[in-house]
Amino acid sequence: GIQVEQSPPDLILQEGANSTLRCNFSDSVNNLQWFHQNPWGQLINLFYIPSGTKQNGRLSATTVATERYSLLYISSSQTTDSGVYFCAVDTGGFKTIFGAGTRLFVKA
Amino acid sequence: DAGITQSPRHKVTETGTPVTLRCHQTENHRYMYWYRQDPGHGLRLIHYSYGVKDTDKGEVSDGYSVSRSKTEDFLLTLESATSSQTSVYFCATGSGTTNTEAFFGQGTRLTVV
């Protein structure tokens, strides 16, 4: 089956810093999503981005489907950005497969 | 976000007992999923449903069964709970047809002692 790899696995930032999270996938996908899991365990949809670029406030994402990767950019990070960021892909079989996540801690 | 309710939110059960987790959605989404989340593994798909009475296995389906008798409810049953099934279980629903954006419930923390 498809492999989804996220990097880095862990990231520590000082508040105000910028960061880039990467998601590589091993096969063609129908869609790709980015999620944030907050410290309370809730999974929050960030982007639904099978291709192209989207922005939402301090967050933006780019997916290059032909090269099988997606990037999540966090600018001017805040402590509330802490948590785990997951990339998830759908290969068209109605199954959404997740990467292992990037654990982010933003220090005040 | 989609209206997805999981019950119970927390459960402690004994090894060998059957356990059923319920997922209820109010969005009329066609697709529903059960995942488990364990440290170091992210979220892994257990079973999914693509319509009433239409279900299929995911990555880690052994020891689990599901049922979907109506659009809004998707049940996950651990036939005989084991300690390895201690985990956090998430239900998700999917909108759309071939491109399925997933929305998640709040999770159920299950401990098997």
Q: How far is it, in rounded angstroms, from Cα B86 to Cα B36? A: 9
Q: And the tokens for B87?
A: 């985990």
Q: Which residues of chain A have pLDDT under 50?
A: none
Cα A21 vs. chain centroid, distance in angstroms? 6
Q: Tell me if A98 and B35 make a contact (CB, 8 A cut-off).
A: yes
Q: Where are the alpha helices (DSSP H) in A1-108?
A: none
- pLDDT tens for B3-61 read 999 999 999 999 999 999 999 999 899 889 999 999 877 899 999 998 999 999 998 99
Asked whether the beta carbons of B31 and B100 are under 8 A apart, the reply is: yes
Q: Where are the alpha helices (DSSP H) in B1-113?
A: none
Is the sign of the CA dihedral A75, A77, A80, A85 positive or negative?
Answer: positive
When scoring A38, A96, A97, A103 by the number of chain B Cβ atoms within 10 A, the one with the most, hence best to mutate, is A96
Match 């009433």 to its residue by tokens: B52
Q: What pLDDT is recorded for position B102? A: 79
Q: What pLDDT is recorded for position B95? A: 73
**pLDDT value at B100 more than 80:** no
When scoring B38, B50, B99 by the number of chain A Cβ atoms within 10 A, the one with the most, hence best to mutate, is B99
Q: What pLDDT is recorded for position B96? A: 61
**pLDDT value at B99 more than 60:** no
Q: What pLDDT is recorded for position A82? A: 96
Q: What pLDDT is recorded for position A94? A: 64
* Residue B77: pLDDT band with limits 50, 70, 90: very high
Instruction: Judge whether A86 is closer than 8 Å to chain B, CB to CB.
Output: yes
